[in-house]
Structure 1
Amino acid sequence: MNIFKRLLNIGKAEIHSAIEGFEDPIKLTEQGIRDMKEQLAKSVEALAQLKALSIRKKNESETEDQTAKDYYNKAIILVQKAEKGEVEVTEADRLAKEALKKQASSQENALSLKKEHEKLQEECEKMQGNINQLKSSISKWENELKTLKARVQVSEATKDINKKMTQIDTGSTVHMLEKLKDRVMQQEAMAEAYLDIAHAGKSVDEEIDAIVKNGDTEAEDALQKLKESIKKG
Structure 2
Amino acid sequence: MNIFKRLFRIGQAETHSAIDKLEDPIKMIEQGLRDLHTELDQANRALAEVKAMHIRRGNELKQYKEDEGAVHNKSILLLKKAQEGAMESNEADTLVKENLRKKAAISKKISITEQEANALQTQVTGLEGNVTKIKSSIGQWESELKTLRARVKVSNATQKINQQLMKMDSNSVAHMLERMKDKVLDEEALATAYGEMNKQEESHEEKVNKLIDDFSAEDELAKLKNQLGIENKSEPNVENDNTNPS
TM bucket (normalised to shorter chain) is: 0.5 to 0.7
1:140 paired to 2:161: no
Deviations 1:65-96 (A, max 9, x none): 11111111111111122223322221111011
d(CA) in 2 for partners of 1:161, 1:180: 22
d(CA) in 2 for partners of 1:85, 1:102: 25
Q: Percent identity?
A: 42
Aligned to 1:116: 116
For 1:71, give the aligned amino acid. V
Aligned pairs (5 A) from 1:36-115: 36-115=36-115
d(CA) in 2 for partners of 1:68, 1:38: 45
Deviations 1:14-54 (A, max 9, x none): xxx99964411111111110110111011011001101111
Q: Which runs of 5+ in 2 are unaligned?
A: 1-16, 193-246
d(CA) in 2 for partners of 1:91, 1:104: 20
Q: Which runs of 5+ in 1 are unaligned?
A: 1-16, 192-233
Report the TM-score, using the length of structure 2 for normalisation. 0.63
Aligned to 1:207: none
For 2:165, give the aligned amino acid. M
d(CA) in 1 for partners of 2:125, 2:115: 15
Report the TM-score, using the length of structure 1 for normalisation. 0.66
Contact 1:18 / 1:25 at 8 angstroms: preserved in 2? no
SS at match of 2:86: coil
CA RMSD of aligned residues (A): 2.7
Q: CA deviation at 1:169?
A: 4.0
Q: CA deviation at 1:55?
A: 1.2
For 2:155, give the aligned amino acid. S
Larger Rg: 2
Contact 1:18 / 1:24 at 8 angstroms: preserved in 2? no
Aligned to 2:129: 129
